[in-house]
Amino acid sequence: MIKRTLVGIAVILAASYTAQAQRIGSTPEYVTALTSRWKGERFADGRPKVSDIVLDRLQNCTLEQVWGYLNNRGYRNQIEKNWVILKPNETMTGRVLTAQFMPTRPDLDTLVRAQGKAEGRSQKGGINIWPIDVLTKGDIYVADGYGKIKDGTLIGSSLGNAIYGKTGKGVIFYGSVRDMQELKDTKGFNAWVKGHDPSYIKDMTPTSINAPIRIGEVTVFPGDVVFANEYGVAFIPAHLVEGLVAASEMTALRDEFERVLLQAGKYPSGEIHGDWSPKIKDEFRAWVGKYPKQLAITQKDIDAYLAKEGH
């Protein structure tokens, strides 16, 4: 059965790729095939629609928690580090919209412009705005600018404000931006880039939107979820996000509850840090039931966690 499923996915991917091989924007069918392990709601373009609640809760995770969860599930190449960060003290989460840029050559550029026109993309302004045109609320614009810094500035302050207006988020570029000072003044906007430069973008052609791209050591899919902070950027497959958040949230809740018990002095510290007694487990259930913030985990998750050996 598993082999049949994998063969079926491969056929869909091949057919979808063939059908849209010359396209700039991937078809919804192709994006759906790429992210077939996601079983929830989707956007019209085929990308998984991970809930806002989960994205908000993801902000409470650490890079180590994200890395550990993904690594244990075979996703060993999901973290990219060493960024220039616009606002290092902020964490950003959101849904990925991808774009790939390549060095311009006349025949490629002519083909891309003609195909973009056929797809109904804007013919006014630079073609670097095409990915921005299709952004929606909660998206993070992730672009492979092949590390180009001088003349590789994918956006400046005007496009940065346009991106924030559409998404309420920021950008992650394996490339550069300009107008860093002005962008820093845009409240709510953030950027993880490989550099910045005062030059304008030059000799760069967008060759795909919402297709797989490479960001450093990571293969990024459209519809992945970003976790970005001052220590690095993680690209999380959509179908793993809820489980990751629940696991991280459970660990954080236990740590917080243990601090409450330790401060109350009700139990010896060995009983709190070790395996919990049935009485402490019942107190934990009651404490979580009155928790003042909305949680991603459910009562079923809590019962399953407490039933495991060692809790």
pTM of the model: 0.83
| Contacts of residue 221, Cβ cutoff 8 Å, sequence gap at least 6 | 34, 35, 96, 98, 212, 235, 237
DSSP 91: -
Q: What is the pLDDT of residue 1?
A: 52
Q: What is the pLDDT of residue 311?
A: 61
**What three-state secondary structure class fits 257?**
helix
User: d(Cα 284, Cα 256) in Å, to the nearest integer?
Assistant: 10
Q: What is the pLDDT of residue 287?
A: 94
Secondary structure element (H or E) that encloses residue 85, with its range = strand 84-85
What are the pLDDT digits (tens) for 176-235? Answer: 999 999 999 999 999 999 999 999 999 999 999 999 999 999 999 999 999 999 999 999
Q: What is the pLDDT of residue 246?
A: 86
- The candidate with the shortest Cα–Cα distance to 195, out of 225, 153, 252, 233, is 153
Q: Which parts of the chain have pLDDT scores under 50?
A: 5, 7, 9-11, 13-21
- The candidate with the shortest Cα–Cα distance to 222, out of 19, 6, 9, 50, is 50
